[in-house]
Amino acid sequence: MPEPWGIPVVEILVSLFPVLAFLAALRFLDSYKLVGVRSLLVTIGVGCGVAALASVVNEQVMDVLRLERHEYALYVAPVTEELLKAGFMIYLISSKRVGFMVDGAIQGFAVGAGFAVTENIFYLFMVPSTNLFLWLIRGLGTAMMHGASTAIVGIASKSLADRYSSSNPLVYLPGLLLAMVIHATFNHFFMPALIQTVVILVGLPLVMLVVFERSEKATRHWLGVGFDTDRELLEMLTTGNLAETRIGVYLHSLQDRFKGEILADMLCLLRLYLELSISAKGLLLMREAGFEVKPDPEVREQFNELRYLEKSIGRTGKLALLPFLHTSTRDLWQLNLLGE
């Protein structure tokens, strides 16, 4: 049966469906739905754009190094392509848009999936073939490899960023190197293509299962401890019982360092930050329970007020509030989550 407009529809579906289906399954299995649908589509689109950029970069580098295409695929393409794919993950993690390892896994796989979509479609038109086995191997093997390698960058980088700091460039190096090794190993075909595909299809779900389990435990612990701490501090601020506590003594000591209006803005900022923090944690708890929560129209105004208060108290005022403002990558991520 002829295909419409000469487009290899069946081959496209066979080569793209597995990786997109696996990505959809990852998000479905995430109890907290930390990565929104819109964010996921944007990430896939970025992956598609990265693949187009990689094709141009690969051609230029191949000409400069004077390598044959198969040599380039074995030794250089894994480096250039993984660097380009990892760029977006580094941006997401460093800008506090990734809260847990499972976020890094899903966003990373989405970048790789978008990359595979563009690459496989390009390959289909460059190598016209009706051999469905070839496209099945590319769909279950090559495409899944691209998703897995970038997911590993997201998982490893997020884990190290939580332990050290997302501003330290070295936290991104281990995941990036591992992704390059996986990519290069896959391209060398040390095993038959079918065996490599089976290894990926068995190994990748196992890795994701471990990541999801660890991430959900971390989420529950963070929600439990953080929610109680924020609630207790907010209750102290609103009930007027703050003066008799160590927190009250500390804030009282700041009167000698800041003007009265600045100190008032500092207390307003602390209260607003706690309210937003509690709202974000409540949003996650509602999602875990299966409820779809609509965005609160007042949140945008609260964020505008938060930014105004931050400018008002200045850098010194924010440093003075650091003992009470949670500034880890995860706590800052929650504000981005609420802002979306």
Give the DSSP per-residue string, 108-130: HHHHHHHHHHHHHHHHHHHS---
Torsion of CA 298, 299, 300, 305, to 10 degrees: 90
pTM exceeds 0.75, yes or no: no
> CB neighbours of 130 closer than 8 A, spacing ≥ 6?
8, 11
Confidence band, pLDDT 50/70/90 cuts, at residue 5: very low
User: What would the mean pLDDT of 184-208 be, rounded to a whole number?
Assistant: 86
pLDDT at 3 over 60: no
Question: What pLDDT is stored for residue 1 in this prediction?
Answer: 42
* Residue whose C-alpha is closest to residue 234's, from 272, 279, 284: 272
CA distances from 75 to 91, 189, 265 (A): 26, 13, 57
Question: What pLDDT is stored for residue 200 in this prediction?
Answer: 86
pLDDT at 74 over 80: yes
Are 151 and 109 a contacting pair, CB within 8 Å?
Answer: yes
Highest mean pLDDT pick, 11-25, 221-235, 239-253: 11-25
pLDDT at 198 over 90: no
Least confident among 119-123, 202-206, 220-224, 256-260 = 220-224
pLDDT at 204 over 90: no
